[in-house]
Amino acid sequence: FPACLSPAWLPREGKGRRVVKAQQLWYAIIESQTETGTPYMLYKDACNRKSNQQNLGTIHCSNLCTEIMEYTSTDEVAVCNLASIALNMYVKADRTYDFHRLFEVTKVIVQNLNKIIDINYYPIPEFYFINMLDFEPLEFPDSPYDKFENCPFHFPFALKVLNPHLLKDLTDRGLWSEEMKNQLIAHNGSVQALEDVPDDLKNLYKTVWEISQRTIISMAADRGAFIDQSQSLNIHVAEPNYGKLTSMHFYGWKQGLKTGMYYLRTKPAANPIKFTLQKEELQEKQRADMVCSLENREACASCSA
Residues 245, 248, 254, CA angle at the centre, nearest 5°? 140
Is position 203 annotated as part of the catalytic site? no
8-state DSSP, 91: B
Find out whether 223 and 186 touch, Cβ atoms under 8 Å.
no
Greatest alpha-carbon span in the chain: 76
**CA nearest neighbour of 208 among 190, 225, 231, 186:** 190
Catalytic residue among 52, 61, 67, 298: 67
Q: Are strands 259-261 and 41-42 parallel, antiparallel or unpaired?
A: antiparallel
**What whole-number distance in Å separates Cα of residue 198 and Cα of residue 186?**
18
Which candidate in 63, 163, 182, 234 is catalytic?
63
Verify whether residue 63 is a known catalytic residue.
yes
Pinpoint the alpha helices (H) of the chain.
2-5, 9-13, 22-36, 44-49, 99-120, 126-139, 164-172, 178-186, 199-204, 213-224, 242-254, 279-290, 301-304
Catalytic residue among 61, 65, 163, 182: 65
Is 260 within 8 Å of 286 (Cβ atoms)?
no
From residue 132, give the alpha-carbon distance in Å to each of 72, 74, 135, 141. 20, 18, 5, 14
Task: Based on the residue annotation, tell me whether 65 is a catalytic residue of this protein.
Answer: yes
Residues serving a catalytic function are 63, 65, 67
